[in-house]
Amino acid sequence: MASATIGTVLYENSGRSTGATGVYSGTIIPGFEPENAFDWRDFSSFLVAAASTTDLDLTFGTAQTIDTWSVFTQQYDAVGGAAIILKYESAPSVFTTIDTVSIPAGSAALTLRKVTPFTVAVGRKLRYEFMTNADSFYVRQLVTGERLEFPIGQHGGITPPNLQQGVVVSNTIAVNGSLIGRDKRRFERACKIDLDYLDPAWVRTYWEPFVTHAIRYPFMYAWNLVDYPAEVVLAASRDIPAPENMGKRGKMRVSMPLHAITTVS
């Protein structure tokens, strides 16, 4: 029995929004630069150097508090053994390991992970350490920042975005009534954020900045990290209705239909 569905969004992207400077220790392939991993484009990617351990260091001009990261990669070979390790410079030239994500062989990987909150001080580095086998892998999105966790659950009307979705079937009938063919069209994978009984202060403080991002860019969305932690998608808004007053003890309602750009299951 699934718990009340508390959705989680990661749109804060410390690699992109802060104007951080980045230095990669490996060979950069033209067209697959490290910046492609932070640009929120679903068609670009960063190619990690093969058969090596390389680092991508980001240096921030302002202190950054981080409690979540999301990794979207593609590994084409069947060898395995690749990984991304998240570290930060806790003291000058001293790096503390925060978390490790293993890259599965021969498939895409899309995950969202909560970590113990930590702060990267001004002038210190956030480090992504890439471990590769004989082959390289592609990083489609690498997002690190503070998550937006909804204050209330969605108890019904949820369409998990990783599941197969509706199909429209059209039958072609001959003049004599015989069935001569069937045309099948599957709907795009979709889901919806639909929250009721929200405090107006939460809507103004947290929902509105998220909407400002979602108007232009995609984001990482996990519909239920407790029961289905693997069901994470790179999502984009389909439309954004305005928040509504519910007329019940001053509460508000928000919603956002989503298109699941990428799922991996």
150-204 residue pLDDT tens? 999 887 777 778 776 666 677 888 777 777 777 655 556 788 899 999 999 999 9
**CB-CB contact of 220 with 232 (8 Å):** yes
pLDDT tens per residue, range 43-73 = 899 999 988 999 999 998 889 999 999 999 9
Q: What would the pLDDT profile of 228-240 be if each residue is shown by its tens digit?
A: 898 899 999 999 9
Q: Which of 83, 165, 192 is nearest to 131 (CA)?
A: 83
Work out the mean pLDDT of the chain and round it to a whole number.
Answer: 88
pLDDT confidence of residue 1: 40
The predicted-structure confidence for 27-50, as pLDDT tens digits, reads as follows 999 999 999 999 999 889 999 998
pLDDT of residue 76: 73
Output the pLDDT for position 165.
Answer: 67
Give bridge partners of residue 193 from the DSSP assignment. Answer: 256
Alpha-carbon distance of 113 to 222, in angstroms, equals: 10
Over residues 97-101, mean pLDDT: 97
Cα–Cα distance between 195 and 150 in angstroms, integer?
A: 8
pLDDT value of position 2: 47
- 91 vs 16, more confident: 91
Measured CA distances, 262 to 161, 162, 180 (Å)? 9, 9, 35
Note the pLDDT of residue 180.
Answer: 78
Cα distances from 85 to residues 32, 45, 95, 101, 129, in angstroms, run: 20, 18, 11, 6, 5
In the predicted model, is pLDDT for residue 265 greater than 70?
A: no
Q: Dihedrals φ, ψ of 201, to 5°?
A: -65, -40
What is the SS3 assignment for 211-251? Answer: HHHHCCCCEEEECCCCCCCCCEEEEEECCCCCCEECCCCCC
d(CA 34, CA 24): 7
Fold of 8-149: Jelly Rolls (2.60.120)
Secondary structure of residue 99 in the 3-state scheme: strand
Question: For the whole model, what pTM was predicted?
Answer: 0.87
Sheet containing 53-59: give its strands across: 21-24, 53-59, 125-131, 82-91, 94-103
Return the closest-CA partner of residue 197 out of 243, 164, 143, 147. 243
Only one residue has tokens 């997002």, namely 143
**pLDDT score for 186:** 53
Q: Tokens 């019904």 belong to which residue?
A: 156
Instruction: Please give the torsion angle defined by the CA atoms of residues 170, 171, 172 and 175, in that order, rounded to the nearest 10 degrees.
Output: -130
SS3 17: helix
pLDDT value for 25:
96
Instruction: Tell me the pLDDT tens digit for each residue of 115-142.
Output: 999 999 998 999 999 998 888 899 999 9
Q: Which residue has the higher pLDDT, 52 or 78?
A: 52
